[in-house]
Structure 1
Amino acid sequence: MKAVGVIVEYNPFHNGHRYHLDETKKKTNADCTIAVMSGNFLQRGEPALVSKWVRTKMALEAGVDIVIELPYAFATQKAQNFANGAISLLDAILCEEVCFGSENGTINDFESTVDFMKDNQQSYDHTTRKYLKEGYSYPKAASLAYSSLSNHNTYVDLSKPNNILGYHYVKAIHDQKSSIKAETIMRTSAGYHDETISHESIASATSIRKTLFSTEKKIEDIIDYLPPSTAKWLTSYYEENQLYHRWEEYFTLLKYKLLTTPPSELAKIYEAEEGIENRLLAFITEAASFQDFMEKIKTKRYTWTRLQRLCVHILTNTTKEQLKPINENPVATYIRLLGMSQKGQAYLNHVKKDVKLPILSKGSGISDELFTLDLKAAQTYLAIFPEPHRTKLLRQEYSIPPIRYHEEQRIYL
């Protein structure tokens, strides 16, 4: 059986994701589709809108065959580490191909760009440092350095968010000496960061979330941009929990952490560099909301995304020391299986003797730094719930088995 991998957040699963999934199957002719999906917190430093279990159900009902979790240590990091963790998981579970969405849409351009960067790494690093000294953020400095060295007619435009991720996926395949073949599909209609809806049926996850929160959580206002299963599970999650997860729900916890943690301890948190913790402490007392706080601390040098990721690491108390060995060897050490279809189960039965990492079917019985961070992330994600609901959900994190979906009968087993 041939498997293709997709690297996703599904926050939430929308029509653009369905297009990517359908086109991936057509392009690769794979027997099984495996999604590596971020868990409780995401690459831009945000809590997932709904739980990973609900997003797994959205994925399975849309046609994904296996969903595995991208550990917190990779899911909440810059593109390079995010990509390395995801590719290592797809390689371990024996995917033959990976297919990602991009603004470019031509895989040969990504391969050429990886080769170009290898040949020009020294000049690129030197130019990036020059722009950093001028006060630019790292992403902007890197983009400017790349633009000064490359010809965008020949290479991928690395100022585009999905192109950046795609470049790092291809680079990770090369660096890990993986046999995975990369493919790409051009994104259609909506950009990754688009905050407004302009197409009749496809919108970015960012604009969908923004619309949802600006219309008092009315599913009717975003239903045209979602598969029916997503609308169903979003409605069900809100009815059961009376909230969707966003930063504002965690702001009180963040304020408490900042006001009760000594600056010397905050400086040990991952992504706290150059005394940035002092800027957070200077504004936290007067901030009335998370949005207000971010607007106060945002600067030309520190991107919104980087600041959000720092705030996530403060909430989870994730230190530089904890992530140092993981960043030095940025590959996964286990496969956390979240869900599978009948076809997905058949694939696992077919390859289980050759899978390169242990497959975890429950969140217990393992001693691993990656998994320790995942459990802390789960505890933090669920901390906003009242008791006894919080404890009930946390027990599920340790004990719930992978979701099993019968795709032909459309039922859960």
Structure 2
Amino acid sequence: MKAVGVIVEYNPFHNGHFYHVEQTRNASSADVVIAVMSGQFLQRGEPALVDKWHRAKMALLGGVDLVIELPYVFSTGNATIFAEGATKLLNAIGCESFAFGSEQGTIEPFLNTLSLLRSEEEEYNALIKQFISTGISYPQSLYLAYEKLKNEHPNTYIDLSQPNNILGYHYIEAVNRFNLSIQPLTIQRVQAGYHDDINTNLTIASATGIRKSIFETKSIHEVESYVPKATFKELESWKHKHTQFTNWDSFWSLLRYAILRNTPEQLSLFADVSEGIEHALIKAARKSDSFAEFMSNIKSKRYTWTRLQRMITHIFTGITKEALHQFDEPTYIRLLGMTGKGQKYLSEHKKSFTLPLISRVASTKDPMLALDIRASEMYAQGVNLISKQKLEMDYQTPPIRL
């Protein structure tokens, strides 16, 4: 059986994701679609709308055959770290190819961009330093240096101001750097942009727009036409059990406690906390009554919103620099769910996987997996502010079988 991979968060799974899965299967001629999916905390440094099991079930009901978890070490990392973990896991589970959505829609400009930045690396780095020295932020300096290089070396390149193009570039760069055998494909993103609000004239909305509508209206009925029926049922199930969906606002009291219980010296030990920001975090936590107010009090030109949220995630989960940075490679494949076809693929191919397959965590001793379990327990603590969720879910929840 031939497998193709997708790298996802499904927060939540929507019509655009359904389209992407269908197009991925067609473009690759694969028998099986395997999704490597972030767990309870996501790449932009925030808790997932619903837990990983609800999102895995949405995926399986939406056309995915196997769902494996992207470990916390990678799922909460920057684009480079996120891409490395995800592509290596898809390679380890035997995918011949993987397909990512992009604003670009064709693979050649990605390869051209990779070639440009590699061949002109010295000039690129010099330009970055030059822009930073003028007071421009690091992400903006990267973009301006890239734009200058593009003008000096005409060709067809990707637009690195677009979020899916950025992630796509990092996927291809990771495959190239680690000499992975998996081949990249890209699917044109249609209708809704990454950050777009819901447009009632369209059938596809961004996950960002869907979440914004849910939190603003406190209802899921406004988003019903933008998600498959199975996703809507899972959202209904979560809302019935937990009364509301999760974000940093719903976790705020626990997050505030996690910050204030530490001294500045202790905060500085957590992953991504640097440059003395621990003092600002404590000051802001003392005087902020909500997460939005807290973020407005610490936001500055030096730090992107995403970088701030990532350090906050690590403080909340209690994961230090030492704990996070001891890992370079995935050490296991964690199975979250499968269809009958996915189960058949596992039976036929698991002996050729280059990492051990984990379906039950109770009998597994792995330091990287221990961080995933801790993150799940802290996510459950946040959910418990609004309703009950067992802390032992990772131990008690078997892989979903459809």
With the shorter chain as reference, the TM-score category is over 0.9
For residue 410 of structure 1, what is the aligned residue in structure 2?
none
1:295 Cα deviation (Å)? 1.4
For residue 79 of structure 1, what is the aligned residue in structure 2?
79
CA distance in 2, matches of 1:317, 1:125: 34
For residue 93 of structure 2, what is the aligned residue in structure 1?
93
Which letter maps to 1:395? E
Moved more, 252-261 or 41-50: 252-261
For residue 397 of structure 2, what is the aligned residue in structure 1?
400
1:252 Cα deviation (Å)? 0.8
Name the CA shift for 1:375/1:146 in 2 (closer, same or farther; >3 Å).
same
1:129 Cα deviation (Å)? 2.7
For residue 103 of structure 2, what is the aligned residue in structure 1?
103
For residue 334 of structure 1, what is the aligned residue in structure 2?
332
Residues 1:204 and 2:190 aligned together: no
Moved more, 18-27 or 115-124: 115-124
Residues 1:364 and 2:377 aligned together: no
For residue 408 of structure 1, what is the aligned residue in structure 2?
none
8 Å Cα contact 2:191/2:202 also seen in 1: no
- Runs (4+) of structure 1 exceeding 6 A deviation are none
8 Å Cα contact 1:190/1:199 also seen in 2: no
Which letter maps to 2:243? Q
CA distance in 2, matches of 1:215, 1:292: 20
- TM-score by structure 1 length? 0.93
Residues 1:14 and 2:36 aligned together: no
For residue 196 of structure 2, what is the aligned residue in structure 1?
194
CA distance in 1, matches of 2:146, 2:297: 30
Which letter maps to 2:360? K
Which letter maps to 1:172? A
Question: CA-to-partner distance for each residue in 1:113-151, whole Å, 9 max, x for gaps?
Answer: 112111122222222233333333332221122112124
Name the CA shift for 1:97/1:224 in 2 (closer, same or farther; >3 Å).
same
1:388 Cα deviation (Å)? 12
The DSSP-based 3-state class of the residue aligned with 2:186 is strand
Residues 1:49 and 2:49 aligned together: yes
CA distance in 2, matches of 1:101, 1:385: 31
The DSSP-based 3-state class of the residue aligned with 2:382 is coil
For residue 144 of structure 1, what is the aligned residue in structure 2?
144
CA distance in 2, matches of 1:166, 1:16: 17
1:387 Cα deviation (Å)? 9.4
Structure 2 gap ranges (5+): none
Count of aligned pairs: 400
For residue 411 of structure 1, what is the aligned residue in structure 2?
none
CA distance in 2, matches of 1:372, 1:138: 33
1:383 to 381, 384, 387: 381
8 Å Cα contact 2:210/2:223 also seen in 1: yes
Task: Give runs of aligned pairs for residues 6-405 of structure 1, distance below 5 A.
Answer: 6-151=6-151, 154-197=156-199, 199-216=201-218, 218-326=219-327, 329=328, 331-386=329-384, 390=388, 393-405=390-402
CA distance in 2, matches of 1:399, 1:236: 19
Moved more, 189-198 or 352-361: 189-198
Question: CA-to-partner distance for each residue in 1:264-291, whole Å, 9 max, x for gaps?
Answer: 1111111112111222122211112101
Which letter maps to 1:371? L
1:47 Cα deviation (Å)? 0.5
CA distance in 1, matches of 2:171, 2:370: 25
Name the CA shift for 1:347/1:380 in 2 (closer, same or farther; >3 Å).
same
CA distance in 2, matches of 1:101, 1:337: 23
8 Å Cα contact 1:189/1:199 also seen in 2: no
8 Å Cα contact 1:135/1:301 also seen in 2: no
1:153 Cα deviation (Å)? 5.2
Structure 1 gap ranges (5+): 406-413
Name the CA shift for 1:199/1:139 in 2 (closer, same or farther; >3 Å).
farther
Which letter maps to 1:176? F
The DSSP-based 3-state class of the residue aligned with 1:230 is helix
Which letter maps to 1:384? G
The DSSP-based 3-state class of the residue aligned with 2:168 is helix
Identical columns (%): 48
- TM-score by structure 2 length? 0.96
The DSSP-based 3-state class of the residue aligned with 1:384 is helix
Which letter maps to 2:178? Q
Which letter maps to 2:279? N
Which letter maps to 1:68? I
The DSSP-based 3-state class of the residue aligned with 1:336 is strand
CA distance in 2, matches of 1:157, 1:318: 34
1:193 Cα deviation (Å)? 1.7
Name the CA shift for 1:276/1:133 in 2 (closer, same or farther; >3 Å).
farther
Moved more, 369-378 or 332-341: 369-378
Question: CA-to-partner distance for each residue in 1:73-109, whole Å, 9 max, x for gaps?
Answer: 1001110000000001000001000000001111011
1:382 Cα deviation (Å)? 0.4
CA distance in 2, matches of 1:132, 1:3: 43
CA distance in 2, matches of 1:322, 1:135: 33
CA distance in 2, matches of 1:228, 1:324: 40
The DSSP-based 3-state class of the residue aligned with 1:337 is strand
Name the CA shift for 1:135/1:281 in 2 (closer, same or farther; >3 Å).
farther
8 Å Cα contact 2:74/2:85 also seen in 1: yes
8 Å Cα contact 1:339/1:403 also seen in 2: yes
CA distance in 2, matches of 1:360, 1:228: 30
Name the CA shift for 1:370/1:21 in 2 (closer, same or farther; >3 Å).
same
Which letter maps to 2:393? Q
